[in-house]
Structure 1
Amino acid sequence: MANAKLYVGNLSYNSTEESLASLFSQFGEVVSARIVTDRETGRSKGFGFVEMASPEAAQQSIAQLNGQQVDGRQLTVNEARPQEPRQGGRGFGGGGRGYGGGGGGRY
């Protein structure tokens, strides 16, 4: 595992970036912890990313935390994959939905 960035899924909506960093710090130095939030509401989307200082610490975090119950939810912890470019698909999908919605209103 060359990457020390982890995906953390199924987080409690009450989780904070501080509590996430604290949880992972028992396995090594945490470089960053980020919970992804909805752009419009600011509410947690229930997942985030933690970057560990070393691949070894990241691997140990996966081994110890994946599948564990935290705040009543079973965490999913695995190596983060690079985000794939979605601009073309998103624009097309958005246009399609807008067109479909407009067409539905006419009938």
Structure 2
Amino acid sequence: MIKKMYVGNLAFQSTEDDIQELFSQFGEVKSVNLITDRETGRSRGFAFVEMPENEADAAMQSLDGTSFEGRNLKVNEARPRT
């Protein structure tokens, strides 16, 4: 089963490729969606990453609170939109 994770507190210069590379050490990354401002096109500092469940759990446990590009990441399971 695929799990979707929220990745927050990203540096504004982080790219989808940077995030993919970071998470790929834990397994197969199905998708990375870096959220950008509609008007400016700049990163809003968060993304969503999809991975198989066991690999996602390992990534969340290992990466939450760690430093990436000078920022301490917040990584947890994404909540459905309401």
Q: TM-score, normalised by structure 2?
A: 0.96
Q: Alpha-carbon deviation of 1:30?
A: 0.2
RMSD: 1.0
Q: Alpha-carbon deviation of 1:34?
A: 1.0
Equivalent residue number for residue 95 of structure 1: none
Letter in 2 for 1:26: Q
For structure 2, the 5+ residue unaligned runs are: none
More helix by share: 1
Query: Percent identity over the alignment?
Result: 54
- Distance in 1 (CA, whole Å) between partners of 2:15 and 2:75 is 16
Deviations 1:36-56 (A, max 9, x none): 00000000000000000x110
Letter in 2 for 1:61: A
> Structure 1: which 4+ aligned runs deviate by more than 4 Å?
none
More strand by share: 2
- Distance in 2 (CA, whole Å) between partners of 1:83 and 1:30 is 22
Equivalent residue number for residue 23 of structure 1: 22
- Distance in 1 (CA, whole Å) between partners of 2:16 and 2:3 is 17
Equivalent residue number for residue 69 of structure 2: 71
Matched positions, count: 82
Q: Alpha-carbon deviation of 1:3?
A: 5.4
For structure 1, the 5+ residue unaligned runs are: 85-107
Where relative contact order (Cα < 8 A, 6+ residues apart) is larger, the structure is 2
